[in-house]
Structure formats: structure tokens, C-alpha cells
Chains A and B, each alone.
Chain A
Amino acid sequence: MAAQTTLNTTSASANRQSKQSNSVWNDFVDAYNVATKSYWDTIKENKKLRLIDTFCLFLVLIGIIQFTFMCLIRDNFPFNGFLSGFIICVGQFVLLISLRMQYVNPFPGISKNKALGEFVVASLMLHFVCLHFIN
């Protein structure tokens, strides 16, 4: 979600610079609409993807909460605590997206179940390292 917002604002600023600003802007809005629509359609059909996406949203929220907390108290002590908390969110998010990609479009040679197994191992590894880093 956050990434989408950045894309939005950057294209808006591009708007002013480029000559064919209108058509680009229209294209962009069009693309955005098509993507969101098809996204909701897929989510409705596929329960597993819905589960993954809810988890992703949850992680993004936790990440944002941690970041705002750090901004509010204006201190990042202990820094490794904050960092591992934040990185675990980002890392788990990225791993989930990787799993999601393989659910939508399995890679040759890796079945969906194998992908899930690999995902679990990598997540365990990530959690172990981050816990170690928290002290």
C-alpha cells in the first residue's frame, strides 16, 4: 500500500514536467483502477491469497506503528531492538510476497507445497536471527 502511494505522488509530479501529461495521467488512473478491480476479484476467489494479504497488511501496520512510536518518543534507543523489530516486519512481508508469487504463478521445479516449506524455513531463520539481534 505504501509503495502505491509513492508511485502515485511521483507520477503526479511527473505530470507537471511531461508534455503529454494528460494522457500519462489518464493512463495511470486507468492502470490503477484496473489493478485494484482485478485484485479484489482474485481475493474474493482465493482464500489462501486473502490470508496472505491480511498477514501482509498486519505486518505493514506493525511496521508503521513501530516507526511512529520511534518518531513520537524521538529516540531510537535501543537501536538494535527497534531495528530488528522493523526488519522482521519488512522481511516477513517480503517473504510472504515471495510465497504469494509462487502461489499465483508456480516456478518450474518448485511445487506449491515445497514453496510453503521453504518459506517456513526461511521465516524461522529470519525470526531466529532477529531474536538474536534484539538481545
Chain B
Amino acid sequence: MSDVVDVVDAAVGSNARVNKDGDNLTIKEKSVAHWVLQSLKILICVFLVVAAVSSRLFAVIKFESIIHEFDPWFNFRATRILTESSFYHFLNWFDSRTWYPLGRVTGGTLYPGLMATAAMVWHGLRKIGLPVDIRNICVMFAPAFSGITAWATYKLTCDIKDSRAGLLAAAFMAIVPGYISRSVAGSYDNEAIAITLLMLTFMFWIKAIKSGSILNAMGAALCYFYMVSAWGGYVFITNLIPFHVFCLLLMGRYTSRIYVAYNTWFILGTVASMQIPFVGFLPIRSNDHMSALGVFGLLQIVALGDYIKNKWDNPKRFRPVLFVSLIIICVLGLGLLTLATYLGVIAPWTGRFYSLWDTNYAKIHIPIIASVSEHQPVAWPSFFFDTHFLIWMFPVGVVLLFLELKDEHVFIIVYSVLCSYFAGVMVRLMLTLTPVICITAAVALSQLFDVYLNFNDLFTLLQNNSIPTRPTITKFITKLIVSGSFIFYLFMFVYHCTWVTQNAYSSPSVVLPSSTPDGKLSLIDDYREAYYWLRMNTPEDSKVAAWWDYGYQIGGMADRTTLVDNNTWNNTHIALVGKAMASNETRAYEILDELDVDYVLVVFGGVLGFGGDDINKFLWMIRISEGIWPEEINERSFFTANGEYKVDSTASQTMKDSIMYKMSYYHFPELFGTNGGMDRVRQQLIKSEDVGELTRFHEVFTSENWMIRIYQLNERDNEGRDGKFISTPVVSNTKASTGGRRKRHGAVGPSDLRI
């Protein structure tokens, strides 16, 4: 990759030179230079695509071709269903294997763009005689699209500044960790395709606003439609483009080009976006979309005003009329909007929207939003971690754009301001900020290179064989130092990106990397071990209760019915599972038995030192269920008298009684002998007398490193009494009862988790 950036640097330099020298050349030489430049650009773009794809392959090389994390497992499962059946069947898909007993109207509540694209690629490859496994297409999906993103960024930045900045921006975009974090091989998520479409939409939009071409605006609308079909974050475009137009109007920059571009985009984009079942009538009902509609109306009025103004001989007298009308229209519009919201014609703003503005909103009102780690605010170091030196080139670029301030520059400025704020609120929105950081940093850097990488004077001097004067030498040295240091930064950037991609963003989080005491790499594969056990040893229709984080994985890998999953559409159902986990055994048995649950799955990291386990997530389960049943679950009672969250012998009785505690630590102290076991996540000593007996559940499986523990509910006896009255647990599966919990092999020794 360092090669590529060097190539870019060289091209930037040669670009600058050729452009400058162009005046003195003959026409033939000019056309040759033009061709050389064009082919260089194409070559660089090809290299960039190769770099973008190959740096995302660390995940496959270090681990294997596997779907990552949580949401991708659902997308993968949905794609498989799409390839096995028809598209209509897919859109009407009712999934009875999730959200038991409610089920989910999956076809109508997902964004089908990602799956449809993957299925199309799959069918296309089969048509030309390449029957590729659908899993491999899904794994390689994000890297392939990142190549297109780099190209779109190049085109976009070409319109903002020139092709030199464009190449730099594309190079940044190809390898910047902020984007790689969501698009490594195997990260088969909506964002993988959405960022590509975001850049394509913006590319067409900038072209449309510059030229006023209906065709370009239509391109923007089609990309917008594709984006709507792929990611819920499309609302960002829905608001950004109207906001851009609104800013231009306020700056008094109305032209007919803006009218043409915006109206074509709005009409086509809106009516097209309504074709997606999940979006439906939202574009005319929800408040999130109202700004686009408002600007559409405003633009008609402004166009009319502009028409009248042009016909009038005295434009000065027109201003008061215009101002008064504008203000009254704005007041009327806002009033209507408020009234419509009040009367319930337009849906009120959603909780996620509120949490964007008021960072404490979610914490107070919707614990389920706050509980998701990617909804937390960004920590300062992660800006540097994700974008390296681009983060301090970013403001420079914005200032440089301010100096010129054309229509398209306003767009980038508006985009950067809005996104900087949003990224400060939610970690996941770092993803939408990254492209604009790349673009502005490229603008700043190419501006700098235009001046400091231009050694024309030296070449003319050398040609003329004249003796350089002292100021020329000083100038040359200054140029050399400045451009040299920035090329060094570029080198550091490539190094940093490679390192971050390799170490931080390539872990599938299904398989965990660790090292044995002698330093060898070993993989902790407990998740798949447990899911595979479920798949092979439990009846096909058994229901598994687990916290919602693992819902998609259980559905995808174990193929068993789940109660709650990462879709989180039903807060009450999630709270019910949380309540069962936080209740004592009798109550939990009642709840789970009512829900027809067969198995309970908990994730426990105490043996391994894995911090993302259920005991650490337990507080959120308590909080979410307390929001619904405050009289039964009380967060305070899970803390010690001093208000600490502890799991050792000082833990509160409620904590020790909860089945989450019991299931996590069941037989855990015995593993380490008589003195009790040390929980390696919380660094607390668990004694066997603290962990109560389980009477209504029995352990059926514990994975190699004790990360996943699965329990079965004892069956009721013929008189309908619950499991407690049965002296010996009735285990349907003999294999499970004998080989269920495995002792660790002494020879292997404790392996350290390395994340």
C-alpha cells in the first residue's frame, strides 16, 4: 500500500508539472501528455481498488472466510433464504423462528438492498458458470464495494477541487480505518454497501448542482433509492441535501440549476423510496422527512419570486416584499408542521432522533438504545485512531473550502459540520464522518502539494544551465522540507492504517484470538462450538432463551428459535427476558416456562477473562426490565450496601439469587479447587458457598473455555409440578448429560485472551 501512495505522490507531482508546462507544448505533445495522464489516473485508480480490497482481507487471512459479529449473521441468513426462494417470497417472509412466540414480519421490516445485491451477484456468477458459495460472496461483499467507494470519492473530490485532490481522497478512503472498521471481509452489514451509495449519491448531487443536468439529478435520485433500500441511515441524505439547498437559498445563491437539481432529485427520490415496504408512507408522514418537503415547497415559491424579480425593472424595491413573504411563509410552514404533529397526522420524532440532539435522552428514557455500545459517544483518541493525521488536516481543508466557497463547497462544509456533531454523539456515526474527513484532508493536502511539490523553477534553471541564486536555493530547501515531511506523514498514515486494520478491525468476534503461554497464536472457538452443539443435540423446534445480543448468531449458526434478537423492535419482550435473567429461580422458571423455553444460554467470561460477557451486560438487563416492571425489579437491590456492583461473597442476596449469577458461576469455584475460583474479568473471588444450587434447571453444555453455558429447564412431572420436585433431572439427551461440561485439560494451561 505504501507503493500506491508513492505512486499517487508521483502522479500528483507529475500532474502539476504537466499542467504547468502545457502552455509551451505543441498540440501533438499535448495530446500525448493528456493520454499519459489519463492512463496514469486509471492505473492509480486500479491500484487503489486493489489496495482497498487487499487491506480488508486480513480478516480472511488471519482467521477464515467467516461472517463476523452479530448483525451480519442475520443478513447472511436472510440472503440464504432469498437465494433459496423467490424475491416475492422473500418480501413476504414471516419469520416464526425469532421473537418466539410473536414472530417477525421480516420481509416488511428489513432493508432488502444488501441481500438483493448479494443474491444478484450470486445469480450472475452462476449464469456465467461460476457457482460460488453464497457465504463467500457475502464475506467478500464489503471489500468489493469499498473499491467502488474509493472510485466515487475520487469523482466527488474531482468536482470539489481537481483530480489531484481526487486521487488523494480516493487513496485515503481506500485505507482509512474509520471506514475499514465496518467493511472488512466478512463484515456483511448494511453499512458495507451504504457508504458506497452515500458517496455515489453525493457525487451525482454535486454534479447535478454544478451543471443543472436533469440526468445527474436522476442519478442522485436512483442512488438515493438504492441507499434507502439498504440502510436506515438514508435519513441523513434526506436531511443533508435539503439543508444544503436551504443554506444556498439563505446565502442568496438561488439559480435555476438548483431548482432543476433539487426538484428532480426530490420527486424521483421520494416516490422511489416509498417502494421499499419498510419505508412505505414515511416520507410524507414522518417528521424526519419533512425538511425535504419544506425545502421543496420553498423552492417553488423562490422560483416564482425569482421569475417576478427578473421581469421587474427595479430589483431593489423587490427586497422588502421578498423578505416579508419569506418570513410569513416560514412561520406558516412551521405552524402547520407543529399542528400536524400535534394532531397526529405526521409521526413524531423517533427516540433515536432525540438521542442525537440530547445525549442524555436515551440514558433517561430508552435504556435499550443506551445499552448498545455503538450508540455511546466517541472517545477522543478514537478520532485519531480511526483517521490518523487526517483529523488535523480536516479543519484545514474546511477553511480552504471557505476561502473559495462555491456551491459545492458549501455542501462539503455543511456535511462536515453536521457530521462532526453527530459523530460526537454516537460512535457508529464516525462512519459517515470519515468520508468527509478524507475529502477535506485531501483538498488541504493537495493544495499544499500544489505549492510545495512544484519544482518547475528548478527544472527551468537546470535547463538553462544558469547558476541558482541564494533565494532560489532557500525556496528549494523549504519546498523539500515541507513536502518531505508531508510525504513522511503519508507513509506513517499507511503504516498506521495497516496496523490498525490488522490488529483492531479484523477480528470476527465469533472467533477470538488468544495466545498460549509460549506465545503461539490460538483461537478461542467457544461460540461456534456451543452453537454447533445446539444444532446437533437439540430438537429442531427447541426454543433458546439468551440475551438479545446473541439472537442473530443463534438463528444463523445454531438454527434454533430465539426469543429476542438484535433487531430489538419489541422492548417489552426484551425486558421480559431480562426480567427472567434477573429473577430468582422460581420466578424465572415460571416466566421461561410460560414462554415455552427449552434452553437458556449464558455467556460467561470469568474463566477466560472475556469482558463482554453477560454478567457485565447484566446491569442493562436489570435496567431495561426495571423500566417495565419497576415493582418487581429494582436496580439498587443488585448492588452491595456500599453501592458497588460485585459478584463475590459481599454481593447482595438478590444478585446471588438471580439465575444469571447462578448460571454463570454454577460449579465455577470447584474448577479451581476448594478455596474458590477467581473471576478473571472482575478480579473477584467466588466461593462455592456463594453460588446456590440450581434446582429447576440443569446444565447440559459448557464450552471448552467455559464461555458459553447452556442449561435446560427441568420438565414438569405428570402432575404439572415444576422441576424442583423431580429428584434426578430428566435429561432427554444422554450424550449431553455425560459429556456436557468438560473439565479443562491441565496440559493446555490457561490461555490469555487478546482482543
Q: How far is the CB of B633 from chain A (nearest CB, A)?
A: 42
Given A27-B318, A83-B284, A110-B212, the answer on whether A91 and B271 have CB atoms closer than 8 Å is yes
Q: Determine, out of B91-99, B304-312, B638-646, the stretch whose residues face the partner at the interface.
A: B304-312
Q: Mark A1-30, 1 if CB is under 8 A from B, else 0.
A: 001101100110110011010001001101
When chains A and B are docked, how far (Å) is the Cα of A84 from the Cα of B257?
Answer: 26
**Bound-complex Cα distance A133 to B271 (A):** 8
Interface string of B274-315 (1 = CB under 8 A from A): 110000010010000000000000001101110111011100
Cα distance, A98 to B255, chains bound together (Å): 11
- B292 shortest CB reach to chain A, Å: 13
Whether B321 lies near A95 (C-beta < 8 A) is no
Q: Say yes or no: A35-B211 contact (C-beta < 8 A), given A129-B268, A129-B271.
A: no
Whether A31 is near chain B, meaning CB under 8 Å from some CB there, is: yes
- Tell me if B325 is interfacial: C-beta within 8 Å of chain A: yes
- Please pick, from B214, B222, B275, the residue contacting A118 in the complex, using a CB distance under 8 A: B214
* Chain B residues whose C-beta falls within 8 Å of the C-beta of A101 in the assembled complex: 256, 259-260
Contact indicator per residue, chain B 648-686, by CB within 8 Å of chain A (1) or not (0): 000000000000000000000000000000000000000
Q: When A91-B268, A97-B259, A126-B268 are in contact, do A118 and B213 touch as well, CB less than 8 Å?
A: yes
Shortest distance between the CB of B225 and any CB in chain A (Å): 8
A97–B332 alpha-carbon span in the complex (Å): 25
Q: Is the pair B324, A107 in contact by a Cβ cutoff of 8 Å?
A: no
Q: Contact: A3 with B304, CB < 8 Å?
A: yes
Evaluate contact between A126 and B332: CB separation under 8 angstroms. no
A34 interface residue per 8 A CB criterion: yes
B-chain residues with CB within 8 Å of residue A129 when the two chains form the complex = 268, 271-272, 275
Expressed in whole angstroms, the Cα–Cα distance for A101 and B655 within the complex equals 72
Tell me if B's interface is mostly helix, strand, loop or mixed. helix
Taking the complex as formed, is A66 at the interface, i.e. its CB lies under 8 A from any CB of chain B?
Answer: no
- Interface: A32 (CB within 8 A): yes
Cα A97 to Cα B214 with chains together (Å): 12
- Bound: A97/B264 CA distance, A: 10
Report B-chain residues with C-beta under 8 Å of the C-beta of A125: 218, 222, 268
Say whether B301 contacts A7, CB under 8 Å: yes
- Chain A residues with Cβ below 8 Å from B215 are 118, 121-122
Alpha-carbon distance A13/B325, docked complex (angstroms): 9
Q: Which of B263, B308, B317 contacts A32 (CB 8 A)?
A: B308
**A91–B325 CA distance with the chains assembled, in angstroms:** 25
Q: Assuming the A-B contacts A35-B311, A83-B284, A98-B260, are A7 and B325 also in contact, with contact meaning beta carbons closer than 8 angstroms in the complex?
A: yes
CB distance from B266 to the nearest CB of A (A): 8
Let me know if B318 and A102 touch, CB within 8 A.
no
Residues of chain B within 8 A (CB-CB) of A28 are: 321
B267 within 8 A of A: yes
**B281 x A121 contact (CB < 8 A):** no
Instruction: Check: B504 CB closer than 8 A to any chain A CB.
Output: no
Number of A interface residues in the complex (CB < 8 A): 50
Is there an interface contact between A122 and B212, defined as CB atoms closer than 8 Å? no
Tell me the B197-230 residues at the A interface (CB within 8 Å). Answer: 211-215, 217-218, 222
State the interface size on chain B (CB cutoff 8 A): 43
Determine whether B320 belongs to the interface, using a CB cutoff of 8 Å to chain A.
Answer: yes
A43 CB to nearest B CB, Å: 13
Tell whether A67 is near chain B: CB-to-CB under 8 Å. Answer: no
Residue in chain A with minimal CB distance to B216: A118
A105 located at the interface, meaning its Cβ lies under 8 Å from any Cβ of chain B in the complex: yes
- What is the bound-complex CA distance between A47 and B594, given in angstroms? 76
Set of chain A residues within 8 Å of B217, measured between Cβ atoms:
122
CB within 8 Å for A94 and B212 given contacts A3-B300, A7-B304, A10-B325:
no
Inter-chain contacts of A83 with B (CB < 8 A):
274, 281, 284
Which residues of A lie under 8 Å from residue B308 when comparing CB positions? 31-32, 34-35
Question: Which of A38, A90, A107 is close to B256, meaning CB atoms less than 8 Å apart?
Answer: A107
Given contacts A24-B320, A87-B267, A122-B264, contact A11 B275 (CB under 8 A): no
B328 beta carbon closer than 8 Å to chain A = yes
Cα-based distance from A129 to B209 in the complex (angstroms): 23
Specify which chain A residues have a CB less than 8 angstroms from the CB of B263 in the assembled complex: 94-95, 97-98
Asked if B329 is at the interface of the complex by the 8 Å CB criterion, the answer is: yes
Q: How far is the CB of B249 from chain A (nearest CB, A)?
A: 16
Mark each residue of chain A from 99 to 135: 1 if its CB lies under 8 Å from any CB of chain B, else 0. Answer: 1011001010110000100110110011001101100
What mask results when residues 31 to 50 of chain A are scored 1 for a CB within 8 Å of chain B, else 0? 11011001100000000000
Contacts of B325 in A (CB 8 A): 7, 10-11, 14
Contact B256 A122 (CB under 8 A): no
Establish whether residues A24 and B324, one from each chain, have CB atoms under 8 Å apart when the complex forms. yes
Say yes or no: B324 contacts A122, CB within 8 Å: no
Closest-CB distance, A7 to chain B (whole angstroms): 6
Do the beta carbons of B211 and A10 come within 8 Å of each other?
no
Q: How far is the CA of A89 from the CA of B300 in the complex (A)?
A: 15
Complex: A80 Cα to B283 Cα, angstroms: 12
Q: How far is the CA of A98 from the CA of B256 in the complex (A)?
A: 8
A residues in contact with B321, CB < 8 Å = 11, 24, 27-28, 31
Q: How far is the CA of A96 from the CA of B356 in the complex (A)?
A: 39
Asked if residues B328 and A13 are in contact (CB atoms below 8 Å), the reply is yes
Q: Which residues of B contact A69 (CB under 8 A)?
A: none
Alpha-carbon distance A119/B217, docked complex (angstroms): 11
Q: Is A98 touching B259 in the complex (CB atoms < 8 A)?
A: yes
- Residue A58 interfacial (CB < 8 Å): no
Rounded to whole angstroms, the CA-CA distance of A111 and B413 in the bound complex is 31
Please measure, in the bound complex, the distance between the C-alpha atom of A38 and the C-alpha atom of B260, giving whole angstroms. Answer: 23
Residue A79 is within 8 A (CB to CB) of chain B in the complex: yes
User: Looking across the interface, which residue of chain A has its beta carbon closest to that of B280?
Assistant: A80
Q: Are B329's CB and A10's CB within 8 A?
A: yes
- What residues of chain B lie closer than 8 Å to A118, measured between beta carbons? 213-215, 218
The 7 listed contacts between A and B (C-beta, < 8 Å) are A6-B329, A7-B325, A28-B321, A98-B263, A115-B214, A126-B271, A133-B271
Q: A30-B317, A122-B264 are in contact. List 11 more A-B contacts (CB 8 A).
A: A3-B301, A4-B304, A10-B332, A14-B328, A79-B281, A87-B270, A91-B267, A97-B263, A121-B214, A122-B215, A130-B271
Residues of B within 8 A of A (CB): 211-215, 217-218, 222, 256-257, 259-260, 263-264, 267-268, 270-272, 274-275, 281, 284, 300-301, 303-305, 307-309, 311-313, 317-318, 320-321, 324-325, 328-329, 332
**Interface positions of A (Cβ within 8 A of B):** 3-4, 6-7, 10-11, 13-14, 17-18, 20, 24, 27-28, 30-32, 34-35, 38-39, 79-80, 83-84, 87, 90-91, 94-95, 97-99, 101-102, 105, 107, 109-110, 115, 118-119, 121-122, 125-126, 129-130, 132-133
Which A-B residue pairs are the 4 nearest by beta carbons? Answer: A91-B267, A118-B214, A14-B324, A98-B260
